[in-house]
Structure 1
Amino acid sequence: MTDTPAALREAHHADVSGGWLRPAVFGAMDGLVTNIALIAGVGGGGVSPRAVVLTGTAGLVAGAISMGLGEYTSVRSANEQVAAEVAKERRELQRHPDAEARELAEAWAARGLPYDLARQVADALRHNPEEALRVHVREELGVDPDDQPSPWTAALSSFVFFSIGALVPLLTYLVGFTSLWLALAAGGAGLFVAGAVVARFTNRPWWTSGLRQLVLGALAAGATYLIGTLIGVQGGLG
């Protein structure tokens, strides 16, 4: 079966429908950057290691809940919008079948298919209303009505991976070390590894993807560290 064309084999492409990978990547990166920046900010302000742990833990819990709820709401809302548009297209197919068939044929003809053949196929689809609906939705909306991401999958992925990412810069404090720079180094290593792992799904060089995430996280940490040193405990907030 090695000569079977790739187009005929199942699962030869990655899942790009946005089910779990996007919220997982977004959650992990957000968790890393958020807590690295928080720890850099309060650490730069001169607070105690206990206060750093408290801040980082609060950031982890609050951020993970926020990310999970946000992903659920956004994906659920997007799916509901698609469902509303699908219902609208269904009504149009029932009320104006000829106009919809002509519209579909014209879209195919614009891509190079002979108009007569395109119209013949579009008319044939009218005998299978559900398939006609799927084709019209794909052509007009650019989405597959039968392959929408799960809001629960997105929420859980975001929640879990944000928590994992946010935990990384806290680990050194949790095991007994009190050095801010060691925590930031651990967070930086986490960013690089996360970026390198993402490269596996995108076919980008792992080291460029890792360095990109490391630089972005370093910029965020640098900004909050500077703010912390300017208005932190030593500046009179403690």
Structure 2
Amino acid sequence: MTIELERTYSPEMHHSHRDVTGGWLRPAVFGAMDGLVSNFALIAGVVGASGPGRGAVLAGFAGLVAGACSMAAGEYTSVKSQTELMRAEIAVERRELARNPEGERAELAALYRSRGLEPELAEQVAAGLSADPEQALRVHVREELGVDPDDLPSPKLAAVSSFCAFSAGALVPLVPFFFGASGLALAVVLSVLALFGFGSVVAHLTARPWWVGGLRQLVLGVGAAAVTFGIGHLLGVAVS
């Protein structure tokens, strides 16, 4: 009878979740869109100022290299600093657990009482979790700092993701010039398609309507390029 009840009421996995804590998605998305929008706008500004030609290609290539290196360095420094701060706070929690384990156990029990557990049950749960110092550390860090000590962001992963993504995005408006294009039309077409397509993919990954993400990114990217082209054209006329 007991075995039958266990079979009947055993927990089931009805669904799975995607990894939302990894350190690759944000820098990759930000890097690709930044590369596409900034280089598209840069090339448009140069063309607006001096017309299509070798100058636009050189400016676009310089923007790709400089932007990719800047993004990688910025992401590495940002994530490295964040991770170092997390490790320092984890070390503080480790020392506190070693110095005052009873106080930390009481703190954990109070936390579970505040979340609705009966006092006796909260004490039992806290005592059980505190029996293993490493397990207790993980629980305290998750509850107090909101991070997983076993899955801290990787600075190298963030930097590589940013570099590659920015380069891929920045390359899009340059492609037509590599194949002999002399005007901005093909670069505009490719960039518009890439903006809408990439925005749609990101929206799909984040469970939002694909067309909303595509249109949003399209409006932002085209708006940035239009403003830059206009400023470049005005400056080009003023200089000439």
TM-score (norm 2): 0.91
Q: Deviations over 1:172-210 (max 9, x none)?
A: 111111221321221111111111111221111111111
User: What amino acid does structure 1 have at the position aligned with 2:152?
Assistant: Q
Match of 1:107 in 2: 111
CA distance, structure 2, for counterparts of residue 147 and residue 13 of structure 1: 16
Q: Which of 129, 132, 145 pairs up with 1:141?
A: 145
Q: Which of 82, 87, 96 pairs up with 1:83?
A: 87
CA distance, structure 2, for counterparts of residue 48 and residue 208 of structure 1: 33
Match of 1:222 in 2: 226
Aligned: 1:235 with 2:226: no
CA distance, structure 1, for counterparts of residue 59 and residue 35 of structure 2: 13
Q: Which of 194, 201, 208 pairs up with 1:204?
A: 208
CA distance, structure 2, for counterparts of residue 111 and residue 159 of structure 1: 43
Q: Which of 71, 76, 98 pairs up with 2:75?
A: 71
Q: CA deviation at 1:230?
A: 1.4
Match of 1:49 in 2: 53
Whichever of the two has the greater Rg, that structure is 2
Tell me whether 174-183 or 129-138 shows the greater mean CA deviation: 174-183
Q: CA deviation at 1:74?
A: 1.1
Aligned: 1:34 with 2:41: no
User: What amino acid does structure 2 have at the position aligned with 1:171?
Assistant: V
Q: CA deviation at 1:67?
A: 0.8
CA distance, structure 2, for counterparts of residue 218 and residue 212 of structure 1: 10
Runs of 4+ off more than 3 Å: none
Q: CA deviation at 1:149?
A: 2.0
Match of 2:12 in 1: 5
CA distance, structure 2, for counterparts of residue 41 and residue 235 of structure 1: 14
Q: Which of 145, 155, 160 pairs up with 1:156?
A: 160
Partner SS for 1:45: helix
Tell me if the contact between 2:199 and 2:215 (Cα under 8 Å) persists in the aligned partners. Answer: yes
User: What amino acid does structure 2 have at the position aligned with 1:6?
Assistant: M
CA distance, structure 1, for counterparts of residue 53 and residue 114 of structure 2: 65
Percent identical: 58
Aligned: 1:124 with 2:128: yes
CA distance, structure 2, for counterparts of residue 178 and residue 68 of structure 1: 32
Tell me whether 121-130 or 32-41 shows the greater mean CA deviation: 121-130
TM-score (norm 1): 0.92
Partner SS for 2:50: coil
Partner SS for 2:57: helix
Tell me if the contact between 2:52 and 2:184 (Cα under 8 Å) persists in the aligned partners. Answer: no
Report matched runs for 1:156-175 at 5 Å.
156-175=160-179
User: What amino acid does structure 2 have at the position aligned with 1:153?
Assistant: L
Aligned: 1:22 with 2:52: no
Residue ranges of structure 2 left out of the alignment (5+ in a row): 1-9
CA distance, structure 1, for counterparts of residue 60 and residue 70 of structure 2: 15
CA distance, structure 1, for counterparts of residue 11 and residue 156 of structure 2: 36
Question: RMSD of aligned C-alpha atoms?
Answer: 1.7
CA distance, structure 2, for counterparts of residue 24 and residue 147 of structure 1: 18
Tell me whether 160-169 or 102-111 shows the greater mean CA deviation: 102-111
CA distance, structure 2, for counterparts of residue 125 and residue 5 of structure 1: 24
User: What amino acid does structure 2 have at the position aligned with 1:143?
Assistant: V
Q: CA deviation at 1:4?
A: 7.7
